[in-house]
Amino acid sequence: MMENEMITKTYREAIHDALEEEMGRDADVILMGEDIGVYGGGFGATAGLLQKYGRERVLDTPISETAFVGTAIGAAVTGMRPVVELMFSDFMSVCWDQIMNEAAKMHFMYAGTLKVPMVIRTAAGGGTGAAAQHSQSLEAMYCHVPGLKVVIPSTPYDAKGLLKSAIRDDNPVIFLEQKLLYNTKGQVPEEEYLIPLGKADIKRPGTDVTLITYGRMVQMCLNVAEWLALDGISAEVLDLRTLSPLDKEAINASVSRTGRAVVVHESVQFGGFGGEIVSTIMEGDAFRFLKNPVRRVGGRFCPIPCSPELEKSVFPTPERIEAAVREIL
């Protein structure tokens, strides 16, 4: 295969390949989680890794997030690089004390003498009919804790490159994989590559308005940009990719060019991460170039319903995003 040749992969396959490659590169990389071995993971991302790397490196755990996340923290502190899979991001609440009060703070509390190089992979978001306790997007909660890095890729290319960088990072990283992205396809390089954490990506350049987003909302915003283009409106789509650290420079640069911004995320709008993005614009260089107030489009303040039709009504839709854009135009 020629250098730089691209191959088509699903988001799930890209995650799997990143894990497999990093385990092959570094014997200290281990996997832990419920049903990740024999079953291959709740969403199939670890299939075949038990057979290749054995039970000492692919650990099927009991149904106790507190126990195996705590074990992973101990392993990380003593030199391993554990990658933990939480089947649903909602379960983060079960082991939140371990993550917030231990993993995130140990490097600081021990004056930099300890590192906690671990990744917590977890399926986030709705759209699958999994109802109120298995469909939440809680990234704002994770971003509020100093010491945690928070990543949420939108494409197979980004998922692989960012996961490899997360595994090599010396800090605890929350790696969010939105469920409806697992079967999406995209081009991924055959050769090894890394994507640095903390760098946003312009998925579509534009001149009239910036759509700032992440995760599965990126594709929705790209579709809206196509609609707007039919009316001569040029929308730039900025994919944040990493929420903490946040690429404030990219946000301000894009909004300074277009003069308008709509922030889009699946999570509940009230108290959501979109507020931090708006503050970044209002407190940054882009404020001087704003032609209209920044608009937010997020999830409604409601638990996620099980009914497919009710569930759809909670999340942002292309129509709501388009309406927000036209309002500030």
Catalytic positions, written as ranges: 134
Closest CA to 123 of 43, 40, 211, 9: 43
Which amino acid does the sequence have at 251?
I
Q: Any bridge partners for residue 273, and if so which? A: none
DSSP string computed for 25-52 = H-TTEEEEETT-SSS--TTSTTTTHHHH
Find all residues with CB under 8 Å of 322, minimum gap 6, and list them. 224, 227, 228
In the chain, which ranges are E strands? 6-10, 29-33, 58-60, 81-86, 119-124, 149-151, 173-178, 185-189, 201-204, 209-213, 235-239, 242-244, 261-268, 295-299
C-alpha span between 62 and 67 (Å, rounded): 8
CA atoms within 13 A on the CB side of 264: 33
CA-nearest of 60, 55, 98 to 76 is 98
What would the two tokens of residue 144 be? 């509020």
Nearest to 298 by CA among 323, 320, 328, 322: 320
Q: How many CB atoms lie within 10 A of CB 224?
A: 28
- For residues 180-206, one letter each, b for 16 or more C-beta atoms within 10 angstroms of the residue's C-beta and e for the rest, the string is bbbebebebbeeeeebebbebbebbeb
